[in-house]
Amino acid sequence: MLAKLKPVLFVLAAAALAYPLMPFSNDYLLHVVTLVLVYMVLAMGLNILPGFCGLLDLGFVGFYGIGAYTSGLLTIHYGMSFWVIVPLACLNGALWGVLLGVPTLRLVGDYFAIVTFGFAELVVLFLTNEIWLTRGPLGLPGIEPVSFDFTWLNPDWYFELIGEVPYFYLAVAMVAFVWLVMRRIEDSRLGRAWFAIREDTLAAASCGVNILRYKVIAFAISAGIGALGGAFYARWSLFLSPDMFKFWESFLVLCMVVLGGLGNIAGALVGAVVLIVLGEGLREILPILGLAPETRFLAYGLIMVLIMRFKPAGFFPAIATASARNPLIKDLKKRLAGYASGEKSGTAA
Amino acid sequence: MEPLLKVENVTKRFGGLMALAEVSFEVRPGEILGLIGPNGAGKTTMFNCIAGVYKPTSGDITFAGKDGVVRTNGLKPEKMTGLGIARTFQNIRLFGALSVLDNVRVARHCRTSSNFFGAVLRTRSQKEEEKAIIEESMRWLEFVGLAKHALDNATSLAYGNQRRLEIARALATGPKLIMLDEPAAGMNPRETRRLVDLIHAILDAGVTVVLIEHDMKLVMHICQRLAVLDHGVLIAEGVPEAVRADPQVIEAYLGRGAAHA
């Protein structure tokens, strides 16, 4: 089925990439699409924990917030380039992931979920109350937009990214990068160790997987990707405030991952598209119906109930799908096909 | 001969319950040792102590691994696997959502080393390692006769084959000792016969076998030596013929008085 859809998807992707350059392109629409792309990054990042490792993380937005404020503060105080800030923000996110993960990842199930929830609340409280650093509820205005500085090549080559179009392409590049990283991890020793932990922790340990270490690695990578999304968001929205990183955001990203199918990277992308487009759509439609825009949260809740009732595994439940594309596995598949048609397998027993 | 695994005065308490009391026995390289006893005798607890799932309350477990004799009490399961002790589980514990091949590939984890950067950058050494992992995994799948199912989902296998897959996964960790927890449970006679052949093949591959089993015919047939547990106490150890005639063993299985009947 997917093979048949491939040309269609290809055309759609090409159209989406070309759209911003068209004279009829619309800034609002581009803004929404860029937001979708940011949430795609977040959903792929979160997917590592509940999807790959089976750890319920309710505090993902904490790392998103850490990334965003790292990016915002470094820009305002030190005027650093976006390209320097991105790796720093990712490392800062990963650092906090490790600091939180090492003591708490010994917990399992609901207990762990509560710890992560508490962490996200702590981040918001910190951002709200440490006014000397974050200006608290006033927020951080006046963050510089992303720029390319090639003045060392030619004094005239300084480009500032203004408007939605360049950010759209930047976000596309970011999604593509994270997608590639995730697909490669999924089909690797690291990814298999995570899936093993998710499927059966004891069996994974007796295969030689150091459970705590691999959970911490998962937490760090997930946090780093969350911070990447935050770093981009800060330089795109040019304003940050603590209430952008409330628990609700964690829940939204978790819904995207569950909706798409836990552990499926493509599913996380689809989940991001569906929930963000739905949210924006309802924001427009509900006032027409005479309802407050906030009632859209009811719709989110209803959708989650319906999904859990009718598609508990999400739209794309398959996991570890990347390895099917690995040339080594394709080669093995051919060998097995030859095997089945040829002589019966000679086995030891 | 130097024993491969030595269990000395191992006691395991769960609160007030004494699951194992001063149990001592040894496993010699190249043998099949049967660990038997009635239900609740502490056989699986013994396995878990050896495999690092539980830490013995007291006593010593030593294993003659690659780096000489090591005292292994309290080492974590992944460490024990690294030292060369692999195990299967009484209730099958496969990675259900993964393919048959992936189940075995996970087991190569402890013998491979590529990390996050290797995975993302797809370095040459990572690619070569992946290739070797697939080759080795397929070798063990062929060994247990599941090669043609390699890309199927693990849960789609028939029951007997799921047991064989667990054995393949354990073997793929490159062990010196494999511990099988009731490998024949729920198998039909044909599957059991194939299992006996498989266990002999494992031995021929240079891996020592310890098994827990309730199928007495199987145990008497394939084990060189038996150790019998009852209520956490080792009541007999020796060749099957001697153990079968031991009055204490008969009593444990059939009740007091049966030995004299």
Mean pLDDT by 10 residues, chain A (349 residues): 75 84 82 92 94 90 94 89 91 94 87 91 91 86 82 78 85 93 92 93 92 94 95 91 89 90 90 89 86 81 84 82 82 80 48
Is B194 in contact with A206 (Cβ distance < 8 A)? no
For residue B103, what is the nearest residue in chain A, using CA coordinates? A196
**Going by C-beta distance under 8 Å and a sequence separation of 6 or more, which residues neighbour residue B110?**
A207, A208, A209, B78, B81, B82, B173, B174
**A279/chain B closest Cα distance in angstroms:** 32
Strand partners, B211: B34, B180
Is B97 in contact with A320 (Cβ distance < 8 A)? yes
**B30/chain A closest Cα distance in angstroms:** 18
Contact residues on chain A for B120, CB-CB shorter than 8 A: 181, 184-185
Is A328 in contact with B131 (Cβ distance < 8 A)? yes
Contact residues on chain A for B133, CB-CB shorter than 8 A: 189
Pairing of strands B233-238, B225-230: antiparallel
Report CA Rg, chain A.
22
d(CA A268, CA B227): 53
The residue behind tokens 């690619």 is B127
Query: How confident is the model over B8-31, as a mean pLDDT?
Result: 92
Contact residues on chain A for B101, CB-CB shorter than 8 A: 329, 332
- Is the pLDDT reported for residue B47 higher than 50? yes
Closest Cβ–Cβ partner in A217, A221, A333 for B151: A333
Per-residue pLDDT of A217-238, as tens digits, reads 999 999 999 999 999 999 998 8
Closest Cβ–Cβ partner in A190, A202, A320 for B98: A320
**A15/chain B closest Cα distance in angstroms:** 29
CA atoms within 13 A on the CB side of B108: 25
- Percentage of chain B with pLDDT > 90? 64
d(CA B180, CA B162): 13
Pairs across A and B, CB distance < 8 A: 154
d(CA A69, CA A65): 6
Closest Cβ–Cβ partner in B116, B134, B197 for A217: B116
Q: At what angle do helices A109-129 and A60-78 cross, to 10 degrees?
A: 30
Closest Cβ–Cβ partner in A181, A196, A211 for B95: A196
Q: The whole model's pTM is what?
A: 0.90
- The pLDDT of residue B226 is 92
Do residues B170 and B86 touch, judged by C-beta distance below 8 A? yes
Of B16, B84, B83, B87, nearest in space to B46 by CA: B87
Do residues A89 and A71 touch, judged by C-beta distance below 8 A? yes
d(CA A318, CA A190): 18
Do residues A67 and A229 touch, judged by C-beta distance below 8 A? yes
**A106/chain B closest Cα distance in angstroms:** 14
Q: What is the DSSP string of A217-270?
A: HHHHHHHHHHHHHHHHHHHHH--B-GGGGSHHHHHHHHHHHHHH-TT-HHHHHH
- The pLDDT of residue A136 is 83
Is A347 in contact with B110 (Cβ distance < 8 A)? no
Contact residues on chain A for B129, CB-CB shorter than 8 A: 189
How many C-beta atoms lie closer than 10 Å to residue B233's C-beta? 17
Is B78 in contact with A205 (Cβ distance < 8 A)? yes
**Going by C-beta distance under 8 Å and a sequence separation of 6 or more, which residues neighbour residue A113?**
A56, A57, A58
For residue A217, what is the nearest residue in chain B, using CA coordinates? B116
Query: How confident is the model over B22-50, as a mean pLDDT?
Result: 92
d(CA A182, CA A83): 21
For residue B90, what is the nearest residue in chain A, using CA coordinates? A203
d(CA A88, CA A194): 26
Q: Please give the sequence-ordered ranges of beta strands (E in DSSP) within chain B, or none if there are none.
A: 5-14, 17-27, 32-36, 58-65, 68-71, 85-87, 177-181, 208-212, 225-230, 233-238
**A181/chain B closest Cα distance in angstroms:** 6
The tokens of A74 are what?
Answer: 């470094």
| Helix ranges, chain A (H) | 2-18, 27-47, 60-78, 82-104, 109-129, 131-134, 164-186, 189-199, 201-206, 211-237, 247-260, 265-288, 296-310, 327-341
Contact residues on chain B for A214, CB-CB shorter than 8 A: none
d(CA B8, CA B158): 39
**B20/chain A closest Cα distance in angstroms:** 21
d(CA B215, CA B223): 12
- The pLDDT of residue B62 is 92
Contact residues on chain A for B178, CB-CB shorter than 8 A: none
> SS3 for B89?
coil
ipTM associated with this complex = 0.91
d(CA B254, CA A77): 82
d(CA A47, CA A61): 13
Comparing B230 with A304, the larger pLDDT belongs to B230
Of B187, B180, B219, B226, nearest in space to B202 by CA: B180
- The pLDDT of residue B227 is 93
| CA–centroid distance for B43 within its chain | 12
> SS3 for B59?
strand
**A24/chain B closest Cα distance in angstroms:** 39
Q: Mean pLDDT, chain B, as a whole number?
A: 90
Per-residue pLDDT of B162-214, as tens digits, reads 999 999 999 999 999 999 999 998 888 899 999 999 999 999 999 999 999 98
For residue B86, what is the nearest residue in chain A, using CA coordinates? A206
Q: Report the alpha-carbon angle A232-A237-A238, nearest 5.
A: 95
- The pLDDT of residue A306 is 87
Closest Cβ–Cβ partner in B87, B98, B144 for A206: B87
Closest Cβ–Cβ partner in A181, A189, A202 for B93: A202
How many C-beta atoms lie closer than 10 Å to residue A76's C-beta? 17
**B83/chain A closest Cα distance in angstroms:** 10
Q: How many residues does chain A have?
A: 349
For residue A213, what is the nearest residue in chain B, using CA coordinates? B78
Residue A256 to residues A48, A246, A306, Cα–Cα distance (Å): 13, 17, 14
